Amino acid sequence: MRLNHVAALSFDLDDTLWSFGVTVKRAEDALHAWLLEHAPGTASVLPSRMALAELRNEYERSRPDLAGDFRALRLGSIDLALSLAKEDPLLAAHAYDVFFAARQQVEFFEDVMPALAWLSARFPLVAVTNGNADLRLTGGSEFFRATLSAAVVGIAKPHEEIFHRAAREAGVAPETMLHVGDDFRLDVLGALDAGLQAAWLVRENVTSAHALVDASSPAATRPYVTLNELRTLCRMLGAPPSLA
């Protein structure tokens, strides 16, 4: 597919600019260590970080009403662990703060910063995320005109309105905005349904169920760009081959 006139870009964050799995593992390691130190009774409930992750997943399955509210889900699972261990429930808020701070310590993929620097000098950029990463804490906020978080704006991908709001933040018509993300359903189909152009970023070092597309699906025949790094996108938009 050839890109049409592109006046602005929007970007997903997790697994687009950094690895979500690596980031969450590090954050859960920090949370687990903090709980063992400050609430030692949790050792019997959470013998490993994997037990902590599974408890969080079990809690999510038991609370479908909290779907998408990542703070409430994580905080609730911490509170449950403390309760099962007969530890002070008032520790939950502090424990969550430890997790959240570590969750913001991301490692950008090596192509990201050069690409964002080149793109932001030429186009308005808007971040669009269903997650709880904060660019003011992760770094990289200087490249973006705005960040739209589902938790803050009350609208999540793939709902078309969050993409339309991104276009309004950038000051462009939806059809001239290109959305870039790793999740085919949320990012690619969501953007296309909203009238945006779409680029599907499939990184070789990111294994995700979202990177599976049924070639026989009508959705797979819709026009979008497939990339494995952001330097390719920059070159498609006019960057020289020498872009680092």
- DSSP assignments along 98-127, one per residue: HHHHHHT---B-TTHHHHHHHHHTTS-EEE
The mean of the pLDDT values for the chain is 91
112, 164: one domain: yes
Exposure b/e, 157-182, CB count within 10 A at least 16 = b: bbbbebbbbbbebbebebebbbbbbb
167, 88: one domain: no
- pTM for the full predicted model: 0.89
Task: Report residue 3's pLDDT band, with 50, 70 and 90 as the boundaries.
Answer: confident
Q: Could you report the per-residue pLDDT of 80-136, keeping only the tens digit for each?
A: 999 999 999 999 999 999 999 999 999 999 999 999 999 999 999 999 999 999 999
Q: What pLDDT was estimated at residue 53?
A: 92
112, 134: one domain: yes
Which of these three, 41, 70, 103, is where a domain ends? 103
Task: Report residue 207's pLDDT band, with 50, 70 and 90 as the boundaries.
Answer: very low
Q: What pLDDT was estimated at residue 209?
A: 43
Which of these three, 73, 103, 133, is where a domain ends? 103
98, 150: one domain: no
Q: What pLDDT was estimated at residue 204?
A: 74
In a domain, 29, yes or no: yes
pLDDT at 215 over 60: no
Check which CATH number belongs to the domain holding 98 and give it.
1.20.120.1600
- What is the distance between the alpha carbons of residues 32 and 27, in angstroms, rounded to a whole number? 9
Q: Which residue has the higher pLDDT, 36 or 207?
A: 36
pLDDT at 14 over 80: yes
Check which CATH number belongs to the domain holding 129 and give it.
3.40.50.1000
Per the structure, the count of domains in the chain is 2
Q: Could you report the per-residue pLDDT of 149-176, keeping only the tens digit for each?
A: 998 888 999 999 999 999 999 999 999 9
For residue 39, give its domain range: 21-103
138, 187: one domain: yes
